[in-house]
């Protein structure tokens, strides 16, 4: 059985010097150290400019117990919501996603997951596309129905003695909204994130 990588004593505390409660962060490790049986790396705030992340990575590599350490990989990450980062994910992409999450919250991560496009243009549509987080798609449809003024219209047009017979199938309305592509959803945090159609 392969031995677990050894963690140098000075690295055991150093690795978690950047404790970021809700901020997206990545754990970047030196590959030459890993291959030599050492776990040498650092947690880095991902919600910053790519050049700052690169600088933090170079600093980590410079402290490596293995001479000439140059290669690295993302071995862990936190607070990226439903997103999955590859160990060789572009630092520019990581920074773009993390800064969006830091600014807008986890809803931004759900948006990135549904658009499946990490270009600045696609991700930049978040504010226009985001409709909110709801307990269910039916709750969103009911609010939309009310926002359109249809409930007021019913009260205005339908005589009071007939209103109890008027039924709106909100569940079907909700299903049709999604089936038609008018909206896109992502489940999470005990409900559903709703976005306008992706185009």
Tell me the per-residue pLDDT of 20-79, one tens digit each, with 9 for 90 and over.
468 999 999 999 998 888 899 999 999 999 999 999 999 999 999 988 899 999 999 999
Is 3 a domain residue? no
Q: Is 63 helix (H, G, I), strand (E, B) or coil?
A: coil
> pTM value?
0.79
Is 1 a domain residue? no
pLDDT at residue number 15:
40
Per-residue pLDDT for 13 more than 80? no
How big, in percent rounded to 5, are the helix, strand and coil portions of the chain?
A: 45, 20, 35
Statement to judge: residues 76 and 142 lie in one domain: no
The CATH number that applies at residue 176 is 1.10.10
Statement to judge: residues 21 and 75 lie in one domain: yes
Residue 131 CA to residue 111 CA, distance in Å, equals 11
Domain total for the chain?
2
Per-residue pLDDT for 87 more than 80? yes
Is 20 a domain residue? yes
pLDDT at residue number 19:
43
Statement to judge: residues 174 and 86 lie in one domain: no
Domain that holds residue 71: 9-124
């Amino acid at each position: 059985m392969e031995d677990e990588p050894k963690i140098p004593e000075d690295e055991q505390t150093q690795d978690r010097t950047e404790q970021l409660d809700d901020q997206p962060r990545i754990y970047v490790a030196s590959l030459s150290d890993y291959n030599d049986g050492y776990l040498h790396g650092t947690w880095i705030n991902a919600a910053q400019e790519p050049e700052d992340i690169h600088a933090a990575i170079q600093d980590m590599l410079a402290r490596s117990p293995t001479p000439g350490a140059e290669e690295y990989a993302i071995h862990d990450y936190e607070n990226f919501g439903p997103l999955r980062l590859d160990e060789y994910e572009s630092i520019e992409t990581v920074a773009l996603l993390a800064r969006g999450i830091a600014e807008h919250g986890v809803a931004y991560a759900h948006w990135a997951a549904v658009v499946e496009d990490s270009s600045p243009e696609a991700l930049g549509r978040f504010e226009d596309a985001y409709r909110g987080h709801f307990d269910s798609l039916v709750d969103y449809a009911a609010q939309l129905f009310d926002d359109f003024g249809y409930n007021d219209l019913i009260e205005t047009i339908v005589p009071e003695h007939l209103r109890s017979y008027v039924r709106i199938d909100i569940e079907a309305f909700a299903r049709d909204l999604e089936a038609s592509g008018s909206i896109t959803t992502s489940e999470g945090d005990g409900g559903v994130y709703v976005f306008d159609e992706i185009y």
